């Protein structure tokens, strides 16, 4: 049975990932989502960059608006695939000029038709090289990616951890994991990471599954496994989005609570720009808006006052 933390003061911390809108309708939906979720006071929010920087202009526009119109800590994604150092550095300087002090630094994946990743001859070699370059531009608060089941291009799990350590040693402050669906996947990864001498925070990335076929494709490309129980859970629901969304929230909450029981307190939620789904997950985890927390405190103070009066 799912249960939320008893005390809101013991609440977990969350951060949210958004993607830049493609249409005016999508833009309205995104800002509705941001408005709803900002009340939860996330640790930070990030905006994706698109494959090969394909959404660069829209990402920057979204970041600028977030920085200008909200009090949220904002992180811009930045990749180095297919770009020269000068081109990447220019984007980083644009971020800094817009007041964006945080970056999620990623190597990035080439377009499918281009095959395996090849660094640009005048570009950054990989994510660790990118982090080092960004730190020469500005003292950014940098997050990088971690792969609990190993990056699909890594020679081994040990080699993948070595690469993560290089990124953190280059100046990144934390890592955010690729999505996973079994708590043991993250916990075993953390054991390996700590044994390898990695001490930086590694925040689990939580992906609500609203479209199982799409997630299967994501998993194939990034090396994540899909447990059999999850596949069976979504059987027969291709034409039933409402039920899929209910299951998505339940599965995500169950994963977070199992991790919370093992001492995990921070979660990075891939929101899919979906306000209600993300709010449902956060609510079941004990997160409340600032107004709700104030009401909770007032109710607690009122109860304490009544108890004291009765005792007197």
Number of helices and strands (H, E) in the chain?
Answer: 11, 9
Does residue 302 carry a catalytic annotation?
no
CB within 8 Å of 77: residues ≥ 6 apart:
46, 47, 48, 49, 59, 103, 104, 106
DSSP 91-148: HHHHHHHTT--EEEEE-----GGG-S----TTS-SSHHHHHHHHHHH---EEEEEE-T
Which residue in the list 17, 90, 182, 276 is annotated as catalytic?
A: 17
Task: Compute how many other C-beta atoms are within 10 angstroms of the C-beta atom of residue 84.
Answer: 14
What is the distance between the alpha carbons of residues 111 and 88, in angstroms, rounded to a whole number?
Answer: 18
DSSP 188-234: HHHHHHHHTT--S-EEPEE---S-HHHHHHHHHHHT----HHHHHHT
Token duo for residue 309: 């009066």
Q: How many residues does the chain have?
A: 312
Give the phi and the psi of residue 106 in degrees, each rounded to 5: -130, 145
Active site residues: 17
């Amino acid at each position: 049975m799912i249960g939320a933390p008893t005390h809101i003061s013991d609440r977990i911390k969350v951060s949210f990932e958004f993607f830049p809108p493609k249409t005016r309708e999508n833009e309205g939906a995104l800002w509705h989502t941001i408005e709803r979720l900002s009340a939860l006071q996330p640790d930070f929010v990030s905006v994706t960059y698109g494959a090969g920087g394909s959404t660069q202009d829209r990402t920057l526009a979204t970041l600028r608006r977030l920085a200008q119109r909200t009090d949220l800590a904002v992180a811009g994604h930045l990749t180095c695939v297919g770009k020269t150092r000068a081109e990447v550095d220019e984007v980083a300087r644009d971020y800094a000029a817009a007041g964006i002090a945080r970056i999620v630094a990623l190597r990035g994946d080439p377009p499918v038709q281009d095959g395996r990743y090849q660094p640009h001859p005048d570009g950054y070699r990989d994510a660790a090289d990118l982090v080092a370059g960004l730190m020469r531009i500005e003292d950014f608060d940098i997050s990088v990616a971690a792969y609990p089941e190993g990056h699909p291009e890594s020679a081994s799990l040990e080699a993948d951890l070595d690469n993560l350590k290089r990124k953190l040693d280059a100046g990144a402050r934390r890592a955010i994991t690729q999505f996973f669906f079994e708590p043991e996947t993250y916990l075993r990864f953390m054991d390996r990471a700590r044994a390898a001498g990695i001490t930086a925070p590694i925040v689990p990335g939580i992906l609500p599954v609203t479209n199982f076929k799409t997630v299967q494709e994501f998993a194939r490309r990034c090396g994540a496994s899909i447990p059999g129980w999850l596949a069976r859970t979504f059987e027969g629901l291709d034409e039933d989005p409402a039920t899929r969304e209910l299951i998505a929230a339940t599965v995500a909450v169950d994963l977070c609570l199992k991790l919370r029981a093992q001492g995990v307190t921070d979660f990075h939620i891939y929101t899919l720009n979906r306000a209600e789904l993300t709010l449902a997950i956060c609510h079941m985890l004990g997160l409340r808006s600032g107004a709700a927390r104030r009401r909770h405190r007032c109710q607690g103070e009122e109860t304490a006052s009544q108890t004291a009066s009765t005792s007197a």
